[in-house]
A and B are shown apart, each in its own frame.
Chain A
Amino acid sequence: MSLLQVKDLNKSYQTDTKVLKNINFSAGTGEFLSVIGPSGAGKSTLLRCINRLVQADKGEILFGGQDLLKLRKKELRAARTNIGMIFQHYNLVPRLTVIENVLHGRFGYKSTLQGVLGRFSEEEKERAFYLLEKLGIEAHAYKRCDQLSGGQQQRVGICRALIQNPKLILCDEPIASLDPHSSKVIMDHLKSISEEMGITCIVNLHQVEVAQSYSDRIIGLNNGSIVFDGSNFQLDQLYIKRVYGMETRELITV
């Protein structure tokens, strides 16, 4: 059975315009799934509906046997610990140190008081350093995040997600603010996360070629509907035209 199953998901912000229309797809354990589509297609909305940063209108999101849309506050909080999220603008606390930001990923497992007092066990701290080392930024552990480069900040973001011990990581355009070299570093890390740790990754991407070279599967979203769902081999010129309404060579600026 697949880890995540999205059924008949609908969402509109204003009553008259539907941003997501009857979305159906599923993702297996350890799968690397890319979501591509033009700006405004609803990619970010789709990701945010999954961990309920945005409230969906209708549908089901089955995750590990639970329907996330039916969960109440406490259960939702527990479910969210299993879902990491990575953002285009990293969404760290800039004034705090790298290690503090990484440990923020453990709040979901703590009582409010433990969290507010900043009580972390030795294991948690060791794990945080282990992850920083794995992503090659242990030298910056005590630096403030606003002193780091974009690529380094995004790696802090990945550490923060990984320390949650998630089963699923949602990435909303993780490389859109990065240069080509840092982009490759980040994508390689995400790929190894899904392969080695068996964590499912759903990644919103703007670059079709990047999606094709990293993904097990690609979903093409246009105007709130899925217009393509298949392997990267199946995604040829015809489908790209269907997703974006234009040929790849016209996509260079995207």
Chain B
Amino acid sequence: MNEKAFKRRKLHSILFFLLIIGVAFISAYMTDFNLVEGMATIPTALIWMAENLIITTDTLAKLPKILEKLNETIFMSIAATTIAAAISLFLGIAGSTTTAVNGFFSTLARLIASFARNIPVVAWALILLLSFGQNSITGFLALFVGTVGFLTRAFIESIDEAGSSAYEALTATGATYFQVVGKAIIPQCLPQMISWILFMIETNIRSATLVGILTGTGIGYAFDLYYKMLDYQAVALITLLIVAAVIIIELASNHIRRVIL
């Protein structure tokens, strides 16, 4: 690269940097966001948290009930993810260019995936609330739809990445479509798919809390209830339990990943 091009490149990055700063200022101005004022509230907020979010023995008495709700949420997340994974497997196979049966199904699968994925889970929950009402089915469906969208997309990419080489080779031997998919494509992609499924279980436990607040189920319901009762100690306990649950699940899935990959 010559001197001139190098200088131009440097100029470009400086301009880009200035542009970012400019955009930050404009958006802060437009939203009335004041960094200094925002910073000033931090100490007060911390003091409030220290005073109100202390867990006492009183709170611990509520533990069994809270744990029951947490269980409900965890199992709902796992159920929604695994059922969604089964559907996504079919959509992923139909959607990948390597294994596409025909163009129509391939486009359809991709369309379903991007439609389901690009609407946030919370929005799905709100939409489904209208038709299914406040119950666990709504929460389940909201997680399910979002997961199908994400996993289909991930599976399509895994299959594409695994490549068409073995597909081509087995087709040439006279193998049928399902033999090739079942014995070459899926075995090759399985570890990656499982890894995505585990990731989705983690994500869904987090989302399930939020969805639960909206649909009045699981740990989200408990959170909402104690929050409205101004029982902030219980709220703190719930938050801690959610964090603990997510960390445990994450550790477990990391372990599984290490074994299968």
Q: Residues of A with Cβ closer than 8 Å to B? A: 51, 53, 77-81, 83-85, 87, 89-96, 104-105, 107-110, 112, 115-116, 118, 157, 160-161, 164
Contacts and interface: CB of A to CB of B under 8 A. Distances in A.
A89 B168 CA distance: 12
B187 A108 contact: no
A95 B182 CA distance: 14
Contacts of A93: 166, 183-184, 187-188
A239 B233 CA distance: 90
Given A91-B166, A95-B188, A104-B183, A115 B173 contact: no
Q: Which 5 A-B pairs rank lowest in CB-CB distance, beginning with the nearest?
A: A108-B174, A107-B175, A91-B169, A80-B174, A115-B179
Nearest to B172: A85
A115 B179 CA distance: 6
A74 B179 CA distance: 14
Contacts of A80: 171-174
Q: Which of A78, A80, A107, A115 has the most CB of B within 10 A?
A: A107
A169 to B, nearest CB: 11
Nearest to B180: A107
Given A80-B171, A93-B187, A104-B170, 6 more contacts: A53-B172, A77-B176, A84-B173, A85-B172, A118-B183, A164-B174
B183 A115 contact: yes
A89 B173 contact: no
Contacts of B183: 93, 104, 107, 115-116, 118
Q: Which of B175, B184, B191 has the most CB of A within 10 A?
A: B175
A107 B179 contact: yes
B165 A87 contact: yes
A110 to B, nearest CB: 7
B166 A92 contact: yes
Nearest to B179: A115
Contacts of A96: 184, 187-188
A108 B180 CA distance: 11
A77 B174 contact: yes
Contacts of A164: 173-174
B215 to A, nearest CB: 40
26 contacts: A53-B171, A53-B172, A77-B176, A80-B171, A80-B172, A80-B173, A80-B174, A81-B173, A85-B169, A87-B165, A91-B165, A91-B166, A93-B166, A96-B184, A104-B170, A104-B175, A107-B173, A107-B180, A109-B174, A110-B179, A112-B179, A116-B178, A116-B179, A116-B182, A116-B183, A118-B183
B180 to A, nearest CB: 8
A81 B182 contact: no
A34 to B, nearest CB: 20
Contacts of B166: 91-93
